[in-house]
């Protein structure tokens, strides 16, 4: 596979599941240059299906038809549904097709074995900022996936954010860091907003301050080239207001709490497999 315009223009893509992540991927494919007419999807809910057609121009089809006709098949179903979906696809998927799984916790070997062992599979752990083109997608190659296929998917996903690759045994840790990571920041912002209100700010002001602070801090991490440790130290004057707040975090065991939470996310990802 290559990312040439001719290759992209002729690519037949099937998406199994168009929830929040499936829709984000669909939008990313179109942004990468895949014509909407070449994208088909499977969706059980008629209302949701109509919404996707109206918004993107992709077409709903039966599972077996999508599996049979797709050069690239994106698996975006719930972990508990993947086995049944693969059973329905067995014998339908083209030998030359590439399957890309966005299903949390499910290994490439699970998919390969369910389909008879010959399919090319790539596993991806994305996160929801793909919706605004600022996602983090981490790839791992299955037994039969080639370096060219990895490069092709990297190119497609780069239109929706950053892309990285790791050995598959690290995907459960990736899930704990970037896959579930956005929710950690949302929870922290919730706490900041609530605390700001407790200190006398109205909800609108507290929300605006918290959100822009997170955006600015993330931008500094991305653009300054400095570590989080250095940036934290730079803004922390001895015996100042920031030091007072950070002392409370330290005494409350923030680092240990974060590690415990991320370990729980990692362990749950293992269980899903």
Evaluate whether 14 touches 66 at the Cβ level (below 8 Å).
yes
Evaluate whether 182 touches 128 at the Cβ level (below 8 Å).
yes
- For residue 164, give the nearest of 128, 135, 133 by alpha carbon: 135
Domains and CATH numbers, the chain: 5-172 (3.40.50.720), 181-272 (1.10.3730.10)
Over residues 158-217, the pLDDT tens digits come to 989 999 999 999 999 999 999 999 999 999 999 999 999 999 999 999 999 999 999 999
- For residue 40, give the nearest of 69, 4, 2 by alpha carbon: 69
- Beta-carbon-side half-sphere exposure of residue 218 (alpha carbons within 13 Å): 9
Over residues 31-57, the pLDDT tens digits come to 888 999 999 999 989 999 999 999 999
pLDDT range class, residue 263, cuts 50, 70, 90: very high
| Single pTM value for the model | 0.89
């Amino acid at each position: 596979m290559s990312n040439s315009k001719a290759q992209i223009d002729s690519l037949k893509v099937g998406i199994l599941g168009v929830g929040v992540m499936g829709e984000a991927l669909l939008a990313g494919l179109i942004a990468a240059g895949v014509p909407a007419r070449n994208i088909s999807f499977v969706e059980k809910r008629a209302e949701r299906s109509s919404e996707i057609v109206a918004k993107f121009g992709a077409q709903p089809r039966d599972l077996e038809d999508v599996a049979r006709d797709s050069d690239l098949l994106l698996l975006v179903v719930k972990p508990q549904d993947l086995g049944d979906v693969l059973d329905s696809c067995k014998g339908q998927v083209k030998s030359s097709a590439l399957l890309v799984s966005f299903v949390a916790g499910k290994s490439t070997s699970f998919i390969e074995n369910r389909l008879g062992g010959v399919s090319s599979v790539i596993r991806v752990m994305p996160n929801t900022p793909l919706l605004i083109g600022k996602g983090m997608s981490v790839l791992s190659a299955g037994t039969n996936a080639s370096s060219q296929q990895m490069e092709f998917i990297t190119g497609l996903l780069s239109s929706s954010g950053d892309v990285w690759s790791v050995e598959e045994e690290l995907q459960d840790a990736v899930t704990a860091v970037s896959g579930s990571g956005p929710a950690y920041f949302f929870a922290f912002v919730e706490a900041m907003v609530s605390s700001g209100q407790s200190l006398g700010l109205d909800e609108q002001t507290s929300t605006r301050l918290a959100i822009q602070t997170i955006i600015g801090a993330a931008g500094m991490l991305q653009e300054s080239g400095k570590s989080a440790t250095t940036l934290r130290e730079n803004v922390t004057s001895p015996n100042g207001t920031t030091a007072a707040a950070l002392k409370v975090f330290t005494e409350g065991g923030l680092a240990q709490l974060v590690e415990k939470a991320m370990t729980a996310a990692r362990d749950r990802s293992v269980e899903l497999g």
